[in-house]
């Protein structure tokens, strides 16, 4: 039991150090994600209310289009601003990097879709449930963007 407690303390210390060393990048990540959410909602609003995507089918098309626009925006701003120190990819490698970004987003969506009914089963309020899912999804996205999409090689908890 002492070994487990000791290991948990090491993880805690490493995590605090990581957050402290990466606080600017984490802040940029949160700002990028927030602005992407605003773009997503803005495009959805424009498509449905102004461009008359106002049937159930067209609303779903509008949702998919606005999501994709916000994902591409988010990829671009994260590549150029949040992870500007990462090696810049070009041509096929840029397309590959963008596909990995989409896969990372997909992973967090799957996690959220899995978590929601589980927390719902335990009686967690839907807004709290969604907020927890967004938080977990953001953590997963940050780690995948940092270690897979933009490939920073440093150790996650021991910088």
pLDDT, tens only, 79-125: 999 999 988 889 999 999 999 999 999 999 999 999 999 999 999 98
In-domain check, residue 7: no
- Give the count of domains, the chain: 2
CA-CA distances (angstroms) from residue 95 to 16, 56, 72, 101, 129? 34, 32, 11, 10, 34
- pTM for this structure? 0.82
Domain of residue 47 covers 23-69
pLDDT digits (tens, 9 = 90+) for 12-38: 888 899 889 989 999 999 999 999 999
Where does a domain end: 10, 44, 69?
A: 69
Both 93 and 149 in one domain: the answer is: yes
Among the three residues 69, 104, 130, which one is the final residue of a domain in this structure?
A: 69
**Residue 114: predicted pLDDT:** 92
The closest alpha carbon to 143, from 156, 133, 130, 154, belongs to 156
Going by pLDDT thresholds of 50, 70 and 90, the confidence category of residue 153 is low
Residue 141 placed within a domain: yes
- Same domain flag for 139 and 90: yes
The answer to whether residue 77 is domain-embedded is no
DSSP 89: P
Contacts of 75 (CB under 8 A, 6+ apart): 98, 101, 102
């Amino acid at each position: 039991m002492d070994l487990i407690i000791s290991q948990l303390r090491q993880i805690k210390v490493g995590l605090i150090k990581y957050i402290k060393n990466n606080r600017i990048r984490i802040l940029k990540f949160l700002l990028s994600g927030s602005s992407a959410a605003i773009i997503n909602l803005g495009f959805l609003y424009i498509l449905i209310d102004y461009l008359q995507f106002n049937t159930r089918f067209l609303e779903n098309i509008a949702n998919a289009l606005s999501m994709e626009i916000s994902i591409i925006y988010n990829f671009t701003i994260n590549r150029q601003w949040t992870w500007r120190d990462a090696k810049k990819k070009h041509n096929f490698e840029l397309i590959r990097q963008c596909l990995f970004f989409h896969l990372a987003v997909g992973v967090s969506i799957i996690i959220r879709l899995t978590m929601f009914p589980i927390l719902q089963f335990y009686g967690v309020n839907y807004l709290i449930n969604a907020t927890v899912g967004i938080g977990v999804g953001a953590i997963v996205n940050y780690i995948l963007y940092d270690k897979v999409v933009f490939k920073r090689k440093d150790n996650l908890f021991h910088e």
